[in-house]
Amino acid sequence: MSMRQHPIQTTLRRAGVLRGMAQTAVASCARRAIHWGLCTSLVMLALGPAQVAAQNYPNKPIKFVIPFTAGGGTDVTARMLGEQLALKLGQSVIAENRPGASAGIAAGAVARERPDGYTLLVGTATLAANAVVPGANLQVDLINDFEPIAKIGQIDLILTVSAKSGIDRLSDLVQKMRAQPSAVQFGSPGIGAPAHLGGELFKQLTKADALHIPYKGESAALTDLIGGQTTFQLCAPAVCGPRIQEGSLKGLAVTAKARSKVVPSVPTAAEAGVPGLEAGTWYYLAAPKGTPPAVIDKLNRAINEILADERFRARLLAMGVEVEPGTTPASVRDGLRAEMDKWRPVVKAAGVTIN
């Protein structure tokens, strides 16, 4: 006859925290028919304060720390997710913008917080790219100072030119870069931005040249692109997509494996003749190192449930964010490592530095 499972055993196993000393304590209680109240005390002692707190998580507002200014793509995406997470968990989610130092200020602030799940970093893959840029000085270790939670979504870039440029195909641009490198410039929101590193990768893959012009933001760079002051730019679909559709810009290639759902008429870089040109960024959520696994698991499940909702995914897609539900903490960590490995040789070959 099988032994009846102790109620505490069932509860903790469902919560994902029944392991090690706690498992031993519960099994002992069940075998010896110890009073449930005493058994509870023994289990709580075995679990420790962090795991006990995880059972009641969240019991106060959660804070999202965003490494960029209010109103940008990262900020809007984070606030949209925060609204849904608040409904899912029954606690408010507060957004706090901490821009500066190539997102290092926000990352450093979260890394120093208590590992209790109440202060979370809305990170981007740009952090991983900047981690390998000399002079970025992030002052955090993205792999070892955080507990990844889940990936939120991906933003691939579109290589665009002015509609008045006379450049119709990606091959036309490559030819011009080879024939007149001093006459070709590309703009980006700043040194180390995905649009900058993607442009450097484009140069290296095609063995062609162009001068990088860093701007203070994507809008300023696009203004000069449309006006003809620069030749090309890699920009987010939500920003340049409407301009492609109304005719002021021309999309030559999407820097991704698949075409953009925002502008499906634009070919991928591989289709346009430059395989390997993949650049963009993606959003993820992370907690300080040492956050209880039960908290990480609860947040991961909640976020993946939100991202599985078709209506929410459609709202993000309208901003150019393509969702990938079902990610795990391990896959996020692996993704960050892959970003560093990808951009390290590109940065070195291009001599990119942040002063």
Q: What is the DSSP string of 109-138?
A: HHHTS-SSSSEEEEEEHHHHHHTTSTT---
Query: For the residues 342-346, what does the mean pLDDT come to?
Result: 97
Label the pairing between strands 62-66 and 93-97: parallel
The answer to whether residue 274 is domain-embedded is: no
User: What pLDDT was estimated at residue 17?
Assistant: 44
pLDDT at 205: 98
* Total tally of structural domains belonging to the chain: 3
- Whether residue 55 is contained in a domain is answered as no
- Domain coverage including residue 298: 62-155+280-350
First to last CA, the chain: 72
Asked if residue 52 lies in contact with residue 44, where contact means CB atoms within 8 angstroms, the answer is: yes
In this prediction, residue 70 has a pLDDT band, given cuts at 50, 70 and 90, of: confident
Taking a C-beta distance cutoff of 8 angstroms, is the pair 307, 325 a contact? yes
**pLDDT value, residue 217:** 80
Query: What are the DSSP calls for 165-232, one per residue?
Result: S---SHHHHHHHHHH-GGG-EEEESSTTSHHHHHHHHHHHHHT---EEEE-SSHHHHHHHHHHTSSSE
Domain co-membership, 286 together with 149: yes
- Least confident range of 51-60, 163-172, 320-329: 51-60
27 has pLDDT over 60: no
pLDDT average, residue stretch 184-190: 94
pLDDT of residue 42: 55
The CATH number of the domain holding residue 134 is 3.40.190.150
- pLDDT band (50, 70, 90) for residue 172: very high
Query: What is the chain's mean pLDDT, rounded?
Result: 88
Do 284 and 151 share a structural domain?
Answer: yes
pLDDT above 80 for 47: no
Q: Report the alpha-carbon distance of residue 338 to residue 211 in Å, rounded.
A: 27
**Residue 212: inside a domain:** yes
Average pLDDT over residues 298-322: 95
Band (pLDDT 50/70/90 cuts) for residue 24 is low
> What is the rounded distance in angstroms from the CA atom of residue 189 to the CA atom of residue 218?
5
